[in-house]
C-alpha cells in the first residue's frame, strides 16, 4: 500500500528498553551521604570532533514575523492517505537539553525540533551563560558547550513563557550555585504547581525561597554521597528534577514511585551513555555517577509520539490509511491499542505506526483516561482522541486529572463546531457519537486544543478557520504541513 522506505538505524534510546522492563531494582550499599564503594568509570571517547573555540551563540534563522501565518482555513475533503515523518519530540528535547547542560560536557544533540518552545529553551540556555553552535550541513543538530562562558542572566523574563524552564534549575546550580527564575508559563491548562520540585531540591540540601513572581533555589555547597526520596505521585517534572539534580551534584539517587514515561526513560538512556549506572523498575529509579566523566556525547531526540498520535487520529477520523515514521513506535502503543479496540486497525513497529482503513467498527466505547502510570495513556493524546470520537458511534468517556484546566479550553472550542459534550466534572466528560460538525471560527487556546480542532475540522461541513497558531507552533514546527502531505486541504492566512 505504501512506498518502500529505507530502514533507519535504531535510536540510541532503545538501550534502556530492556532495563525498564526487565531489570530488578538493585539496592546500593552505603549510607545516605556516604561515599559508597568505588567503581570504574567508562573509557573516554569522542563522539564528534571539537573545534578549539565555540561558535558565537546564534539561533537558527527564523521566518520574518510579517509573513508568519496567523490563521488557517480547513476544508473537508478526501480521506487522508500517504506516508509522513514526525519531527523530534518537544517534550523529550527540553529535558535532554537541560540534562546536557547539567553534565558540563560537550553534547551534540540531533533531531532537534524547530518548535517555538524548543527555540525558547535554546535562547534561555544562551542567556544563562551556555553556548551553542550548529554543525554545518546537519539540519536539526546542535552542540552545547560545557560550563558558562559569561555571567548568567539572573532573571530571564523569557523563562515565564514556557513551563519547561524549570528543567534548567539543576544546570544553573551546578554552574552558578543558584537559580532565580520566574514562575513557569506554558499552556493555560490548570494549576500545575512546583511543590514537588521544591521538595526534591530540599532533599538535596538546597534552599528554596519564593515570592509572587519568582522562585530561587540555592545550593548548600555540601558534597553529597546519596539521596533517597519517594514521590507522592508519578510526576514527570519532579522525577526529571531529581535525576538532573543528581547529575549536577554528581551523587547517587534512589527515587521511589518515579515517572517512567518515554520522556523520562530517554533522559535515563542518555545518562547511561554518559557513563551513569542506571537501574530501573516500576517502583524505583537508582542512578550512580561514573568514576570519571570525560569525552563528548552524542544524543538523539526521539520522534514526537504526540505528533504521531495526532496524525493517526486525523487519518482515522477521515477514514483514511497512512504510515507515520520517525518515532519509536512503542511510545504510541497506548493510543494504538485504543484505536484497535474500537475497530481501527493500527500496526506498530519499532519505528513506525501504520493506520489501516477500518473494515467494521466494533461499536465499543472509547475510554481515554490520562494516566501517569507506566504504560498509561499520555494526557496529550486525550484531546486528539476526543476529536476522533465525535465521529464514532457509541458513548465515549474522557478524563485528564493531570491537566485540570484542559477541558475548560477544549470543550468550548469544539462546541463552536457544534459538538455536544457533557462535562461530568472539571476533568471528566463524555460524548455520544457520531455527531455532525459544522465549520466555524475557532481558536487554538493551547497546543493540544489546536491539534484537536484541526482533526475535528477535517470532518466538519464547510470551512473552519483556526486562529491562535502561535500556540500550535509552540509544540509543532509544522503540523499543518504534515497534514497537507497526507492530502488535507489547509490554507494558511498571513496578516
Give the integer Cα–Cα distance in Å for 33 and 27.
15
| pLDDT at residue 435, as a whole number | 97
| pLDDT at residue 26, as a whole number | 36
Question: What is the average pLDDT across 459-470?
Answer: 95
Highest mean pLDDT among 2-6, 54-58, 208-212, 297-301: 297-301
pLDDT band at 182 (very low <50, low <70, confident <90, very high): confident
Query: Which tens digits make up the pLDDT trace of 236-262?
Result: 999 999 999 999 999 999 999 999 999
When comparing pLDDT for 24 and 380, which is higher?
380
Of 178, 173, 175, 162, which is closest to residue 124 (Cα–Cα)? 162
The β-bridge partners of 218 are 178, 207
State the DSSP string of 283-334. TEEEEE--S---S-EEEEPPB-HHHHHHHHHHHHHTT-EEEEESS-GGGGHH
Give the integer Cα–Cα distance in Å for 391 and 87.
28
| pLDDT at residue 32, as a whole number | 30
| pLDDT at residue 212, as a whole number | 85
- Crossing angle of helices 406-416 and 447-458, in 10° steps, is 30
pLDDT band at 102 (very low <50, low <70, confident <90, very high): very high
| pLDDT at residue 495, as a whole number | 63
Please report which helix (H) or strand (E) contains residue 121, including its range: helix 116-127
Question: What is the average pLDDT across 420-429?
Answer: 96
Tell me the CA distances in angstroms from 87 to 122, 325, 344, one per residue in order.
17, 9, 24
Whether 43 shows a pLDDT value over 70: the answer reads: no
Please report which helix (H) or strand (E) contains residue 133, including its range: strand 131-133
The total of other beta-carbon atoms located within 10 Å of residue 171's CB is: 28
Question: What is the average pLDDT across 173-182?
Answer: 88
Of 95, 454, 482, 433, which is closest to residue 264 (Cα–Cα)? 95
Strands 297-300 and 107-110, by their bridges, are parallel
Tell me the CA distances in angstroms from 47 to 41, 99, 117, 274, 486, one per residue in order.
17, 17, 27, 11, 37
Give the integer Cα–Cα distance in Å for 379 and 375.
12
Q: Are 216 and 209 in contact (CB under 8 A)?
A: yes
| pLDDT at residue 359, as a whole number | 78
Query: Which tens digits make up the pLDDT trace of 121-173?
Result: 999 898 888 899 999 999 999 999 986 666 666 556 777 778 888 999 999 99
Highest mean pLDDT among 66-80, 179-193, 279-293, 306-320: 306-320
The β-bridge partners of 81 are 321
The total of other beta-carbon atoms located within 10 Å of residue 328's CB is: 26
Whether 24 shows a pLDDT value over 60: the answer reads: no
| Sequence-separated (6 or more) residues with CB below 8 Å from residue 313 | 335, 339, 384, 385, 387, 388, 455
DSSP 149: S
Q: Quick one: CA dihedral 190, 191, 194, 195, positive or negative?
A: negative
Q: Are 421 and 414 in contact (CB under 8 A)?
A: yes
The total of other beta-carbon atoms located within 10 Å of residue 81's CB is: 18
State the DSSP string of 154-170. SS-GGGGG-GGGGGGHH
| pLDDT at residue 11, as a whole number | 44
- Crossing angle of helices 262-273 and 236-249, in 10° steps, is 10
What domains does the chain contain, in order, with CATH numbers?
88-300 (3.65.10.10), 305-494 (3.65.10.10)
Q: Are 453 and 475 in contact (CB under 8 A)?
A: no
Query: Which tens digits make up the pLDDT trace of 185-214?
Result: 644 444 447 899 999 999 999 999 998 888
| Sequence-separated (6 or more) residues with CB below 8 Å from residue 361 | 342, 343, 344, 392, 393
The β-bridge partners of 74 are 464, 490
Whether 19 shows a pLDDT value over 50: the answer reads: no
Using DSSP, state whether 143 is helix, strand or coil.
strand
* Phi, psi at 65, each rounded to 5°: -65, -25
Q: What is the dihedral of CA 253, 258, 264, 270, to 10 degrees?
A: 30
Whether 10 shows a pLDDT value over 50: the answer reads: no
| pLDDT at residue 194, as a whole number | 87
State the DSSP string of 27-38. PPPS-TTS----
Whether 384 shows a pLDDT value over 90: the answer reads: yes
| pLDDT at residue 60, as a whole number | 40
Give the integer Cα–Cα distance in Å for 101 and 146.
7
Amino acid at each position: 500500500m505504501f512506498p518502500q522506505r529505507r530502514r533507519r538505524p535504531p535510536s540510541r534510546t532503545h538501550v534502556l528498553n530492556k532495563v525498564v522492563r526487565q531489570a530488578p531494582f538493585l539496592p546500593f550499599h552505603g549510607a545516605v551521604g556516604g561515599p559508597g564503594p568505588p567503581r570504574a568509570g567508562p573509557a573516554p571517547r569522542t563522539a564528534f570532533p571539537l573545534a578549539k573555540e565555540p561558535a558565537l551563540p546564534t539561533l537558527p534563522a527564523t521566518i520574518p514575523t510579517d509573513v508568519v501565518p496567523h490563521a488557517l482555513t480547513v476544508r473537508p475533503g478526501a480521506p487522508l492517505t500517504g506516508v509522513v515523518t514526525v519531527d523530534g519530540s518537544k517534550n523529550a528535547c527540553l529535558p535532554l537539553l537541560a540534562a546536557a547542560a547539567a553534565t558540563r560536557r560537550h553534547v551534540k544533540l540531533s533531531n532537534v525540533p524547530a518548535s517555538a518552545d524548543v527555540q525558547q529553551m535554546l535562547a534561555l540556555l544562551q542567556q544563562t551563560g551556555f553556548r551553542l553552535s550548529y554543525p554545518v550541513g546537519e539540519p536539526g543538530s546542535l552542540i552545547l558547550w560545557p560550563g558558562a562562558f559569561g555571567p548568567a542572566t539572573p532573571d530571564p523574563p523569557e523563562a515565564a513563557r514556557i513551563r519547561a524552564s524549570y528543567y534548567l534549575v539543576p544546570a544553573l546550580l551546578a554552574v552558578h550555585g543558584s537559580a532565580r527564575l520566574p514562575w513557569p508559563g506554558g499552556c493555560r491548562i490548570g494549576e500545575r504547581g512546583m511543590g514537588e520540585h521544591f521538595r526534591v531540591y530540599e532533599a538535596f540540601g538546597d534552599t528554596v525561597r519564593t515570592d509572587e513572581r519568582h522562585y530561587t533555589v540555592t545550593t548548600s555547597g555540601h558534597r553529597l554521597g546519596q539521596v533517597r526520596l519517594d514521590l507522592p505521585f508519578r510526576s514527570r517534572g519532579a522525577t526529571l528534577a531529581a535525576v538532573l539534580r543528581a547529575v549536577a551534584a554528581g551523587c547517587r539517587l534512589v527515587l521511589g514511585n518515579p515517572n517512567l514515561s518515554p520522556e523520562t526513560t530517554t533522559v535515563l538512556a542518555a545518562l547511561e551513555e554518559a557513563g551513569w549506572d542506571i537501574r530501573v523498575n516500576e517502583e524505583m529509579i537508582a542512578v550512580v555517577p561514573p568514576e570519571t566523566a570525560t569525552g563528548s556525547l552524542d544524543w538523539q531526540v526521539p520522534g514526537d509520539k504526540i505528533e504521531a498520535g495526532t496524525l493517526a487520529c486525523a487519518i482515522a477520523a477521515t477514514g483514511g490509511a497512512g504510515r507515520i515514521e520517525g518515532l519509536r513506535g512503542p511510545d504510541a502503543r497506548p493510543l494504538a491499542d485504543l484505536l484497535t479496540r474500537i475497530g481501527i486497525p493500527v500496526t506498530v513497529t519499532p519505528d513506525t505506526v501504520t493506520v489501516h482503513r477500518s473494515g467494521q467498527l466494533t461499536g465499543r466505547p472509547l475510554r481515554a483516561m490520562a494516566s501517569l502510570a507506566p504504560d498509561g495513556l499520555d494526557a496529550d493524546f486525550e484531546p486528539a482522541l476526543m476529536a476522533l470520537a465525535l465521529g464514532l458511534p457509541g458513548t465515549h468517556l474522557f478524563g485528564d486529572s493531570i491537566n485540570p484546566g484542559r477541558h475548560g479550553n477544549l470543550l468550548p472550542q469544539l462546541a463552536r463546531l457544534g459538538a455536544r459534550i457533557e462535562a461530568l466534572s472539571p476533568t471528566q466528560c463524555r460524548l455520544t457519537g457520531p455527531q455532525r460538525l459544522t465549520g466555524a471560527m475557532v481558536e487554538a487556546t493551547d497546543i493540544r486544543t489546536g491539534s484537536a480542532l484541526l482533526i475535528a475540522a477535517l470532518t466538519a461541513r464547510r470551512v473552519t478557520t483556526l486562529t491562535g497558531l502561535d500556540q500550535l507552533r509552540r509544540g509543532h514546527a509544522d503540523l499543518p504541513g504534515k497534514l497537507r502531505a497526507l492530502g488535507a486541504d489547509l490554507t494558511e492566512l498571513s496578516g
